[in-house]
Amino acid sequence: MGAKIHFKLSNIQPGWFAYYHNGTRASGPDATWCIGFGYNGQLTDKTDSAHIISAFKENLNPEADVLLYATHDWANDPYAKGAWSCWGPGSMSKYLAELQKSEGRVVFASADWADGWRGFVDGALERGKVAARNALKVASQESRAKL
């Protein structure tokens, strides 16, 4: 499960401070917003500001003046009950083919194991289309079976 945290820095950072940048504009006239993602779905303690800010500085920018941060505990949210799937390094290479398999007459579809746009609606559409084709194939084979 994924984790997401937003940081507001007090100064404008260079355009390519982040790994990804939209290339069109700064975050605002007097600050920079950064978004970080993780794959374990957990923050050690979202109220431990000293730890979170020091981890940001240690891993991203030691000179940053972090004004604030915002995050949400999606795992314990009563409406969401979780976040997007976020696989660890090597997981898809090892498990993707098995996750995508049907099991007898049971056909699965999930954006979490799509070939493209994993975890997004595009991936859900991709896997839904594949699952529908597989279900039709299973149904057509059964209708031809002789009793």
Chain-centre distance for alpha carbon 16:
22
Taking the C-alpha atoms of residue 5 and residue 23, their distance in angstroms, rounded to an integer, is 21
pLDDT at position 142: 72
What average pLDDT does the structure give for the chain? 82
pLDDT number for residue 58: 92
What pLDDT sits at residue 147?
A: 60
- DSSP annotation string for 28-88: -SS-EEEEEEESSS--S-TT-HHHHHHHHHHHT-TT--EEEEEE--GGG-TTT-S----PP
The answer to whether 69 and 55 are in contact (CB under 8 A) is: no
Residue 109 is classified by DSSP as -
Instruction: Estimate to the nearest angstrom the gap between the alpha carbon of 4 and the chain centroid.
Output: 8
Query: Per residue in 24-69, pLDDT tens?
Result: 555 556 778 888 876 665 666 788 899 989 988 998 889 889 999 9
Under 8 Å between Cβ of 2 and 68: no
Residue 132 has pLDDT above 70, yes or no: yes
Give the pLDDT score at 28: 58
Would the pLDDT of 129 be above 60?
Answer: yes
Contact 4, 36 (CB under 8 A): yes
Distance of CA 140 to the CA centre of its chain: 36
